[in-house]
């Protein structure tokens, strides 16, 4: 913070709760606190307000990077020194406003691993009521699904020819059909559920805040960068923030809640003097709480593409835009309603595993228009762990982000087997007839284990699912306890994907909604049974 900005201080404000981060989790928590009449709530978002054109699924994905942080990782030693772009949402609604809308909880075993780590109340049976509360599933409620929650969950309104051929090829390759990846069984091939309502994106901003925008108990500030927490006597009492070049303070009578995600939340803790003492001292930041786990345990789902040549033109190609637009405006259907990742499969890289650890996702938007189809492999049980740390004490400086992709040798073989699985599917009659006309990447000549590993290290990137940097747990490396309270301080919680101790076998949007729903109940001191 500069001397000039300090000179622009304005008066302070008082609320019951101050929430830092208006992404998926922040929107949920703000709405639930307002509904409970828990007092005045301030929601601070670094990005802008939600834009209506993001409701159009394909448009939101195409232009989403305009509404994201320009994060880039440190050079990844396991990826030949490459830096990986990590554009996370910087807009009200966060990732839910710009992501691919896949709604996938991850199998029950993911949450049982959390409970096995000593996190009582975080097993699948404990969490299922929260999932049912948040879901408004097409087709109505059931024992495993909710029917009247705020988040619309539906089947895709557009299914591309490539998606259909892929699913037929999966069956021919021996995979089972699966009509519900969020059902009792995750394994198999099928269409992904999406967070859409009648062909429109449903973001957390729309789902949770739509009914509360005019409520005097809720104040939302956009384009607002929180620079540090205010701590007095071991208690978080407020935040300092910059908006329009002016520095202000907001105080919380009850609690301060961090919902900045796996990058934003640990970054703010470190800037505020809460984290590993050595790291803070090197950045010339006074140590308020020596909390070694802040920024540690960073991990993500690595992904790798397998590309095949095809002479079919993408339904999202430019020459189709006019008829596609007319179809969408008339019926909210067609390719503009697509999330581009319509079909996929979950499978095990080793038959001895208790649950799938690989996800295969079709992707037609970018590659197919250039004469290729893209089938991506995501690995869901990475052993690699990285860290987030400070670049400097300047709040506007990007943090150092090092996910350490493929730093652990155990992450290689599952991805190799994922490539083998995609090749088997691609060789089926259904995909030969699509037609696929040869493998572009890695290429048919890339077969030897050392050559495939070389390909992985040169092409693996991110699924945009970073988690774990404010780990929930019971050990010395944990940052928050099972109540999401930051260790060593009072009146401070973290409620977002950064608390995930071990990443789930699925996309992380649904678990983020879940954590926020449960987090709101923990803040309010109530129990959902």
Among left, alpha and beta (phi > 0; psi -120 to 50; other), residue 505 is: beta
Q: Is the separation of the CB atoms in 224 and 49 below 8 Å? A: no
CA angle 480, 38, 525 (to 5 degrees): 45
Query: Is 465 one of the catalytic residues?
Result: yes
- CB count in 10 Å sphere of residue 363: 21
Residue 74: pLDDT band with limits 50, 70, 90? very high
Give the per-residue pLDDT at 313: 63
Average pLDDT score over the chain:
93
- Looking from the CA of 215 toward its CB, the CA atoms found within 13 Å total 23
Question: Using one digit for the tens of pLDDT, what is the confidence trace for 187-227?
Answer: 999 999 999 999 999 999 999 998 888 899 999 999 999 99
Output the pTM of the full model: 0.95
Q: Which segments of 299-373 does DSSP mark as H helices, in order?
A: 321-331
Closest by CA to 45, choosing from 258, 188, 324, 253, is 258
Q: Which domains does the chain have, with CATH numbers?
A: 157-191+302-379+407-459 (3.30.410.40)
Q: Is the separation of the CB atoms in 254 and 17 below 8 Å? A: yes
Give the per-residue pLDDT at 211: 82
Question: Using one digit for the tens of pLDDT, what is the confidence trace for 439-483?
Answer: 999 999 999 999 999 999 999 999 999 999 999 999 889 999 999
Q: What is the Cα–Cα distance from 478 to 75, expressed in whole angstroms?
A: 26
Length of the chain: 529
Q: What is the Cα–Cα distance from 197 to 316, expressed in whole angstroms?
A: 21
Give the strand pairing for 246-258 and 235-243.
antiparallel
What 3-state DSSP class applies to 85? Answer: strand
- CB count in 10 Å sphere of residue 83: 12
Question: Using one digit for the tens of pLDDT, what is the confidence trace for 341-382?
Answer: 999 999 999 999 999 999 999 987 544 446 788 999 999 999
Average pLDDT over residues 55-83: 92
- CB count in 10 Å sphere of residue 350: 10
Give the per-residue pLDDT at 1: 38
Give me the residue label for tokens 């993911």.
Answer: 110
Question: Using one digit for the tens of pLDDT, what is the confidence trace for 157-190?
Answer: 999 999 999 999 999 999 999 999 999 999 999 9
Give the per-residue pLDDT at 369: 47
Residue 5: pLDDT band with limits 50, 70, 90? very low
**Structure tokens given for 92:** 């009200």
Q: Per-residue b/e over 465-501, b at no fewer than 16 CB within 10 Å? A: bbbbbbbbbeeeebbbebebbbbebebbbbbbbbbbb
Question: Using one digit for the tens of pLDDT, what is the confidence trace for 272-284?
Answer: 999 999 999 999 9
Residue of 267, 301, 380, 465 marked active site = 465
Q: Is the separation of the CB atoms in 308 and 426 below 8 Å? A: yes
Phi, psi of 377, deg, nearest 5: -115, 125
- CB count in 10 Å sphere of residue 248: 18
**Structure tokens given for 56:** 């159009």
Phi, psi of 484, deg, nearest 5: 70, 20
Give me the residue label for tokens 């492999």.
Answer: 377
């Amino acid at each position: 913070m500069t001397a000039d900005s300090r000179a622009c201080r304005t008066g302070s404000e008082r609320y019951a709760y101050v929430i830092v981060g208006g992404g998926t989790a922040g929107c949920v928590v703000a709405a639930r606190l307002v509904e409970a009449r828990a007092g005045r709530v301030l929601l601070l978002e670094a990005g802008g307000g939600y834009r209506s054109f993001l409701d159009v699924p394909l448009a939101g994905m195409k232009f989403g990077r305009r509404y994201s942080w320009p994060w880039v990782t440190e050079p990844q030693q396991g990826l030949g020194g490459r830096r990986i772009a990590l554009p996370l949402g910087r807009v009200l609604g966060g990732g839910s406003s710009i992501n691919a809308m896949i709604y996938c909880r991850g199998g029950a075993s993911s949450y049982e691993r959390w409970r096995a780590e000593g996190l009582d109340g975080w097993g699948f049976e404990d969490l299922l009521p929260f999932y049912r509360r948040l879901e408004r599933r097409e087709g109505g409620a059931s024992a495993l699904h909710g029917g009247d929650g705020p988040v619309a969950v539906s089947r895709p309104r557009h299914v591309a020819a490539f998606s259909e051929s892929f699913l037929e090829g999966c069956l021919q390759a021996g995979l089972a059909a699966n009509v519900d990846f969020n059902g009792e069984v995750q394994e198999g091939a099928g269409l992904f559920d999406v967070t859409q309502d009648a062909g429109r994106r449903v973001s957390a901003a729309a789902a949770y805040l739509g009914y509360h925008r005019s409520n005097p108990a809720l104040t939302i500030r956009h384009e607002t960068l929180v620079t540090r927490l205010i701590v007095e006597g071991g208690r978080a009492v407020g935040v300092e923030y910059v908006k329009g070049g002016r520095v202000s303070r907001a105080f919380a009578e009850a609690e301060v809640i961090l919902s900045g995600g796996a990058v934003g939340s640990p970054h703010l803790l470190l800037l505020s003097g809460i984290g590993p003492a050595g790291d803070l001292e090197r950045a010339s930041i006074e140590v308020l709480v020596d909390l070694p786990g802040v920024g540690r345990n960073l991990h993500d789902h690595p992904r790798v593409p397998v590309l095949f040549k095809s002479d079919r033109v993408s339904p999202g190609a430019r020459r189709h835009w006019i008829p596609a637009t007319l179809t969408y405006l008339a019926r909210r259907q067609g390719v503009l309603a697509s999330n581009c990742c319509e079909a996929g499969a979950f499978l095990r890289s080793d038959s001895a595993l208790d649950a799938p650890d690989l996800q295969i996702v079709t992707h037609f938007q970018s590659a197919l228009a250039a004469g290729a189809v893209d089938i991506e492999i995501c690995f869901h049980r990475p052993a690699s762990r990285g860290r987030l740390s400070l670049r400097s004490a300047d709040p506007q400086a990007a943090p150092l982000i090092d996910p350490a992709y493929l730093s652990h040798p155990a992450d290689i073989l599952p991805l190799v087997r994922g490539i083998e699985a995609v090749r088997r599917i691609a060789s089926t009659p259904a995909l030969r007839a699509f037609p696929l006309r040869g493998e572009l990447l890695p290429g048919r000549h890339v077969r030897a284990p050392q050559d495939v590993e070389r390909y992985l290290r040169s092409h693996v990137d991110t699924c945009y699912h970073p988690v774990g940097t404010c780990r929930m747990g019971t050990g010395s490396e944990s940052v928050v306890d099972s109540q999401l309270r930051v260790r060593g301080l009072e009146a401070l919680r973290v409620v977002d994907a950064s608390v995930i101790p071990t990443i789930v076998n699925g996309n992380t949007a649904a678990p983020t909604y879940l954590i926020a729903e449960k987090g709101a109940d923990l803040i309010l001191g109530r129990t959902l049974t």
